[in-house]
Amino acid sequence: MPVIESSLVVLRSRAAHAARDWNGDTLLLRGLQFVAIVILAVVGFFFIQLLVASLPVFTKMGVIGFIFENNWDVAHAVFGALPLVVGTGITSIIALIIGVPVAVAAALYITELAPARMRGVLALLLDLLAAIPSVIYGLWGVFILIPALKPIEEWVGATYHYVPFIGGSVTGPNYFIAGLILAIMIVPIVSAISREVLTTVPWSEKEAALALGATRWEMIKLAILPHARPGIVSASMLGLGRAIGETIAVTLVIGNAAVIGDSLFSQGYTLAAVIANEFGEASVGSTHASALIAAGLVLFVMTLIVNGAARIVVLRHTHTHSGPVEDRVVA
């Protein structure tokens, strides 16, 4: 009897141990699943709320009317966001045209040409560029860059006035300045992702090119660039996504005029800037507030499309590093 009892005790305590351990694992699994589901639900809920909050302006203007009507007139409660969409487009394209070549050149220099001991430092410096807050780029843009570039812009505007979108009067804050600041801001991310892609080019291909007598530039042109092109395209698109959504720096240097400017050097507005700038004036529950939230929704959808396209480019061309190329670019 005592023997049985004691063995039962042992069994029970084993069962209890097993149960506790099993519970620990199950608890962890269920707990983490719960966290995951809550996060998904929260993101979904926020998105739906955004949609609901922008309904008033969509019912008033229509979705197409809101996006494509060229008339943003707060006083008369007319909200056609085309000037903002165009401003976002122009500034982002300027940012890409200036930023991508610089970023890719910097990435190529760091990975292929710089002395090995310098690479870490140079990469760190480029990453620091990403650490500077948007509002500080804006501050610098307003008080340093705009006055410094105004004479140059005026000279270019006067000398090349026959080139489309160049001539005309030059205002201090304008599309070009905003695009330039955006270019500075996307260089670190485009460069970091390009660097990541460049390091995946197999050594054998580089060595093969060099062994055939190629110069270093020819090696870059023949072995590296074809291999890295899809990655660079997708890096540029992620940069574009950043440029589209950038708010504070742009709102400080674009002039915040809700019209489509005549030239590169005229004032404009972007979707993100209008939200930051007019938010204080819009009374709660008004069509104006709804229009600003709808501008945020359009912005959101634009970045979704651009980032999705970037992912498709990567997935289609490279199966080996289809994972998040942005991993190291967290800053």
Please say whether the beta carbons of 107 and 220 come within 8 A: no
Binding mask 146-185 for another protein (x = CB under 8 A): --------------------------------------x-
125 binds another protein (CB under 8 A): yes
User: Does the footprint of another protein cover residue 217 (CB under 8 A)?
Assistant: yes
229 binds another protein (CB under 8 A): no
Binds another protein by CB under 8 A, chosen from 170, 224, 244, 313:
244
Report how far residue 187's alpha carbon sits from residue 78's, in angstroms, rounded to the nearest whole number.
37
Determine how β-strand 78-79 pairs with β-strand 72-73. Answer: antiparallel
State the virtual CA torsion across 125, 126, 130, 132 in degrees, nearest 10. Answer: 40
Residue appearing with tokens 């674009």:
254
Indicate whether 279 belongs to the interface with another protein (CB under 8 A). Answer: yes
Residue among 128 and 163 whose Cβ is closer to another protein: 128
Distances, alpha carbon 243 to alpha carbons 86, 158, 159, 272, in Å: 13, 29, 29, 10
Looking at beta carbons only, is 100 or 167 nearer to another protein? 100
> Of 186-215, which residues contact another protein (CB under 8 A)?
187-188, 191, 213, 215
Asked if 187 contacts 177 with a C-beta cutoff of 8 angstroms, the reply is: no
Q: How many residues bind another protein (CB under 8 A)?
A: 94
Question: How many angstroms separate the most distant Cα atoms in the chain?
Answer: 108
Contacts (Cβ under 8 Å, ≥6 apart) of 206: 219, 223, 224
Q: Please pick, from the candidates 119, 134, 172, 208, the single residue that binds another protein as defined by CB under 8 A.
A: 134
Q: Considering only residues 74, 122, 208, 222, which one is a binding residue for another protein as defined by CB under 8 A?
A: 122
Q: Shortest Cβ distance from residue 104 to another protein (Å)? A: 7
Q: Which of 60, 109, 165, 230 binds another protein (CB under 8 A)?
A: 109
Dihedral sign, Cα of residue 48, residue 60, residue 284, residue 68: positive
Of 41 and 163, the one with the shorter C-beta distance to another protein is: 41
Chosen residue from 285, 312, 315, 322 binding another protein by CB under 8 A: 285
